[in-house]
Amino acid sequence: MWRFLGGRIAMGALTIFVTTIAVTLLIHLVPGDPVQIMYAQSQGTTPEQLEEIRRNLGLDQPIPIQYLHFMERLFHGDLGYTIRGHQPVLDVIMQRLPNTVALAVAAMAVAILIGLPIGFFAAYKRGTFIDTGLMVVAITGVSIPHFWLGLVLLFFFAVELGWLPVSGTGPLNIVLPAVTLGLSNAAIVARMTRSSMMDVMRQDFVRTAEAKGLPKAVVLYRHVLRAGLVPVITMMGLQFAFMMGGAIVVENIFAWNGVGRMAVEAIFQRDYPVIQGFILTFAVVVVCVSILLDAVYALVDPRIRRA
Amino acid sequence: MTMRLGKTTKILAAAAAIGLSGTMAAQARDIVWARYGDIDTLDPHRATSTLSLQVWSLIYDTLLATDATGAPVPNLAKSWTSNDEGTEYTFLLQDGVKCHDGSPLDANDVKYTIDRAFDDANPSVTKASWGPITGVEVVDPLTVKLTLESPFVALVPFLADSFSSIICDTNGEGFGTTAAIGSGPWKLESWTKGDKIVLKRNPDYVNFGKLAENKGAPYMDGLTISVVPEPQARLAALKTGEVDIAEPPFDDVAALKESGELDIVVAENTGQNVFWEFAAHRPPFNDKRARLAVGYATDPAMAIDLIYGDLSIPEACPVSRGVFGNDQEFCLKYRPNYDPEKAKALLAELGYGPDKPLETAMLVWTGGNRQKLAEIFQAQLAEVGIKADIEMMDIGTMNARVRQENENAEGKGSMDMMTWSWYDPDILYALWHSPGAYRGYTTPELDAMLEKTRVLTDPEARKAAVQEVFKVLLEEGVHIPLYTPGWEWVFAVRPEVQGFKVAPFVYPNFNDVKIGES
């Protein structure tokens, strides 16, 4: 078990390392440079002066050297400073990361609370019009764009009814973005739960349970759901990691101050240190989540830890 | 079980009550202004964005201010003089001005600010705009003298802009991130990056020259500047009263005006200039007739009327209204104004015709309904036989692309709808003095003319020199102005909010704001 986890962690560290190199190289391929963007549309600044500013920011150095500087600072726990505004990148990210975690957790909770029962019920009523009806709802749920759903919820609950605030970051403010994000994930969870339960239902031990004369609901709940949850957990883990990258559209609509919006702005402004810091944080989160998932499987299923 | 439920309900109710009273208190006392994005920093030497400038102008004060027409007037400096050569400026400061921490604002703070901007190890990102300052001398606590290596007349309007915000010399740890001591009408309470800036009224503030009737401290207790990126959400927040002032979605402005639900305030004299420019080093736009044909073929008045209604106006000069030298009548004489027949004649001279259209790319910056505007221009160009392919891109990509097009000797024609803003015609130096911001059109004659505009201290003489530059840019079809303003200038205001103003160059002012009963 420990060897298995050790291997996973080493792989994870390598993944993060490779990601940092890839990002450093890739962001420089995007046309446009941060200094020019910063001065574009205003400023009587001559090209020579722009060069001086690039020198001050260390942007005149070859990319490998810039990367080494980045790594050197990283080992001192320093992600550098933003190009625009000279703010510490670590602060910029850490001010928003808790908001992103909160939104992802809340959205996941909504998804599970709504998705699991629907999936379970559809599997229970498989083949009936209830099953079909629930799956139509689920597919609709997946297909509705966040943008539209978010605005509808916003106008209904915040403007018409006035129950919730329209925008901002706070305890009451989280409800609408979490529901918007949670509903489409609920649809995914429901579909996944249903199909995975159907797979399990075809297996021998289920037939045995049914043969014992257990009520259908008990068979489904005690035997089928538990076995069927493994792929659902995998999917939710990935979905969670994905949401940690920020739900940009939802963050935008509700002015939720998460990392996704920050990353998009940084990309538009070519603010390299912010992009690097964001990708690094995101890579660490994804790697941690997947190691955690692996560990959970290994605990649950001995076949995996021996492999 | 019921007990527990009851408890939970009570807690929820209490939480709701706290939430409610929180918002109610804010409504009664604070102004809430929502914008699409956040500041980059509180340090006026570390950023260039309009979003940052607008906030600096509330926390800090400047030596000079602008009047409604955009001209510099006294502010923290009650008067100023310069020597004949324009290499020495002496400013006499107002007495009794206090920084937010209670320390007096005097010549030492001015020296601190400028020395900081010119710091060798970490100069201001707008150092160049101060001009060639070589020395700052504190003559006495209320007199400060600047020495310049060579004359630089754009210094005076610069001192009215928030790039030159006077930073109190008591600033230290955390300056720009958690602290910002200035002497402006609002004090910094907190800044949550990406979310909001909370400001409190500065009771000691005296307004010497800013565009507000109120000569003392602001009327309202506080001002919260929040970030709401989605235009529809800003409109929703305006409707619920969560937000008092915000930029509405463009497409809703007409309906809002009609219904009277919200007041619409349009900024004037923003300095924003939207114009055609061309890849002038290769065919077809290396020939001025091709550039002028584009000018004659396009009718900005008709296009902006369709897209922006009366929110934008045509602009005839290479620097927009509110900027020194701007004179519509003068510019209209030299600008290639809408005349499709002339365009066709020029194109025919160049060998283009109905069977052989002039082909070009048309680069346009995304956002602000510019896509639709570009489509109208595309149709107008098609009328005379110019086939323009619209390419939409973000501003960063566009800046890189325009320069690339200028450096490419080969390829099809390229023109772009560029947008710039500055408070002085010195912007034309950056754009068109060799090598040029985008390596575009330059000539030694134009260089010499632009150099002259930097050193002439006599306003009349400078105006003539600036207008000579306009004439060349317009007659040669180098910089064909289309309209102003170009972005960020429309504000929707809740009806109970009175006294909201926008000073030239898009500086909102809240000193006069009073919020009545809704």
Nearest-Cα distance to chain A for B345, in Å, is 34
Q: To 5 degrees, how large is the angle CA B241–CA B245–CA B251?
A: 95
State the pairing for strand pair B263-266/B413-421: unpaired
φ and ψ of A85, to 5 deg: 95, -10
A59 shares its domain with A184: no
A61 shares its domain with A6: yes
A35-49, A64-78, B115-129: least confidently modelled range:
A35-49
A51 shares its domain with A111: no
Cβ contacts (< 8 Å) between A172 and chain B: which residues? 16, 19
A99 shares its domain with A220: yes
Nearest-Cα distance to chain B for A28, in Å, is 12
**In angstroms, how far is CA A89 from the centroid of its own chain?**
20
pLDDT per position as a tens digit, A154-184: 989 988 888 888 888 888 899 999 999 998 8
A41 shares its domain with A175: no
A75 shares its domain with A220: no
Average pLDDT over residues A23-42: 75
B247 touches chain A (CB under 8 A): no
The answer to whether residues B327 and B308 touch, using CB atoms and an 8 Å cutoff, is no
Cβ contacts (< 8 Å) between B236 and chain A: which residues? 154-155, 158-159, 166-167
Place A306 in a pLDDT band, splitting at 50, 70 and 90. low
The boundaries of the domain holding residue A244 are 90-306
pTM above 0.95, yes or no: no
A168 → closest Cβ in B15, B46, B226: B226
Q: Which of A37, A39, A41 to mutate to test the interface with B (most CBs of B within 10 A)?
A: A41
A39 shares its domain with A180: no
Runs of H (alpha helix) within chain A = 2-27, 34-39, 47-56, 63-75, 89-94, 97-124, 129-143, 146-153, 175-201, 204-211, 216-218, 226-244, 248-254, 259-268, 272-300, 302-306
Q: Give the count of alpha carbons within 13 A of A88, CB side only.
A: 12
List the one residue out of B290, B262, B68, B28 whose CA is nearest residue B160: B68
In chain B, where the domains are located:
5-36+185-265+488-515, 64-164, 272-485
- Which B residues 355-394 touch A at CB under 8 Å? 394
B397 → closest Cβ in A32, A85, A165: A32
State the Cα–Cα distance between residues B41 and B179, nearest whole angstrom: 10
**DSSP 3-state of B43:** coil
Q: Which of A63, A89, A115 is the last residue of a domain?
A: A89
The answer to whether residues B170 and B108 touch, using CB atoms and an 8 Å cutoff, is no
A35 shares its domain with A126: no
Place A232 in a pLDDT band, splitting at 50, 70 and 90. confident
SS (H, E, C) B280-338: CCCCCCCCHHHHHHHHHHCCHHHHHHHHHHHHCEECCCCCCCCCCCCCHHHHHHHCCCC
Q: Which of A89, A107, A125 is the last residue of a domain?
A: A89
What token pair was written down for B437? Answer: 């911001």
Q: Which of A89, A109, A129 is the last residue of a domain?
A: A89
A29 shares its domain with A125: no
Residue A262, pLDDT above cutoff 70: yes
What token pair was written down for B191? Answer: 């800044």
Cβ contact (<8 Å) for A41 and B19?
A: no
Residue A76, pLDDT above cutoff 90: no
- CATH number of the domain bearing residue A95: 1.10.3720.10
> How does DSSP assign B56-113, residue by residue?
HHHH-B-SEEE-TTS-EEESSEEEEEE-TTS-EEEEEEPTT-B-TTSPBP-HHHHHHH
A68 shares its domain with A202: no
The complex scores an ipTM of 0.82
Q: Give the count of alpha carbons within 13 A of B269, CB side only.
A: 20
Cβ contacts (< 8 Å) between A92 and chain B: which residues? 193-194
State the Cα–Cα distance between residues B174 and B191, nearest whole angstrom: 12
Domain count, chain A: 2
The answer to whether residues B235 and A156 touch, using CB atoms and an 8 Å cutoff, is no
CATH for the B5-36+185-265+488-515 domain, from 1.10.10.350, 3.40.190.10, 3.90.1150.10, 3.30.1120.10: 3.40.190.10
Nearest-Cα distance to chain B for A17, in Å, is 28
For domain B272-485, the CATH superfamily is Dipeptide-binding Protein; Domain 3 (3.10.105.10)
A155 shares its domain with A8: no
Q: Which of B55, B155, B230, B277 to mutate to test the interface with A (most CBs of A within 10 A)?
A: B230
State the pairing for strand pair B196-201/B186-192: antiparallel
Place A5 in a pLDDT band, splitting at 50, 70 and 90. confident
Average pLDDT over residues A291-296: 82
Average pLDDT over residues A87-99: 90
Q: In this complex, how many residue pairs, one in chain A and one in chain B, have their CB atoms less than 8 Å apart?
A: 175
For residue B190, count other CB atoms closer than 10 A to its CB: 12
Q: Which of B20, B399, B518 to mutate to test the interface with A (most CBs of A within 10 A)?
A: B399
B421 → closest Cβ in A42, A56, A151: A42
What token pair was written down for B52? Answer: 């940052």
Query: Residue A42: what pLDDT?
Result: 61
A147 shares its domain with A290: yes
Per-residue tens of pLDDT for chain B, all 518 residues: 333 444 444 444 444 444 444 343 333 479 999 999 999 999 999 888 889 999 999 999 999 999 998 899 999 999 999 998 889 999 999 999 999 999 999 999 999 999 999 998 888 888 888 999 999 999 999 999 999 999 999 999 999 999 999 999 999 888 999 999 999 999 999 999 989 999 999 999 999 999 999 999 999 999 999 999 999 999 999 999 999 999 999 888 888 888 888 999 999 899 899 999 999 999 999 999 999 999 999 999 999 999 988 889 999 999 999 899 999 999 999 999 999 999 999 999 999 988 899 999 999 998 888 999 999 999 999 999 999 999 999 877 888 889 899 999 888 999 999 988 888 999 899 889 988 888 899 999 999 999 999 989 889 999 999 999 999 999 999 999 999 988 778 999 999 999 999 999 999 999 999 998 65
Fold of B64-164: Dipeptide-binding Protein; domain 1 (3.90.76)
